[in-house]
């Protein structure tokens, strides 16, 4: 199963803290970007407040609210997208399981055919030597 993310986690192993952050940031890149913009606006508002620039501080607080809202929308949108995609990925997992079973059955048949061929060759060799 190919994916646009080459570093898909192994479902058997839990991710560590930092690797989970990196993985989720790759899945939903707008969320960390929104967090950075929100923090930047908050820091900008604090700096403007210390300088006494009320107009810039008010602008930065408005930017923070807009960025925070956009981040929440991106988070909800990503959750909805991946919940729908999860059902199709489950289907793909089922397909890959079926493909794996068919491959194993084919390998068994090949082994049986190989053993029959070896027995036939051994029988022919016995006839030739006798």
Helix spans in the chain (H): 17-27, 30-51, 54-129
| Torsion over CA: 107, 111, 116, 121 (sign) | positive
Question: pTM for the full model?
Answer: 0.54
* Exposure class string for 78-114: b at 16+ Cβ within 10 A, else e: beeeeeeeeeeeeeeeeeeeeeeeeeeeeeeeeeeee
Assign 81 to helix, strand or coil: helix
Give per-residue pLDDT as tens, 50-99: 999 999 999 999 999 999 999 999 999 988 888 887 655 566 666 778 88
Q: Do 45 and 26 contact (CB within 8 A), yes or no?
A: no
Rounded Cα gap, residues 77 and 27, in angstroms: 12
The span from the CA of 62 to the CA of 65, in Å, is 5
Report the pLDDT value the prediction gives residue 93, as an integer from 0 to 100: 66
- In the chain, what are the domain boundaries? 17-129
């Amino acid at each position: 199963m190919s994916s646009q993310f080459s570093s898909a986690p192994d479902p058997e192993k839990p991710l560590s803290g930092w690797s989970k952050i990196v993985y989720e940031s790759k899945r939903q890149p707008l969320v960390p970007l929104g967090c950075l913009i929100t923090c930047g606006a908050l820091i900008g508002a604090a700096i403007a407040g210390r300088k006494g620039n009320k107009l810039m501080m008010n602008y930065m607080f408005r930017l923070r609210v807009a960025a925070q809202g956009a981040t929440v929308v991106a988070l909800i949108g990503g959750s909805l997208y991946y919940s729908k995609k999860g059902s199709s990925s489950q289907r793909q997992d089922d397909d890959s399981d079926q493909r794996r079973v068919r491959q194993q059955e084919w390998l068994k048949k090949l082994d049986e055919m190989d053993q029959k061929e070896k027995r036939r060759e051994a029988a022919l060799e016995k006839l030739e030597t006798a």
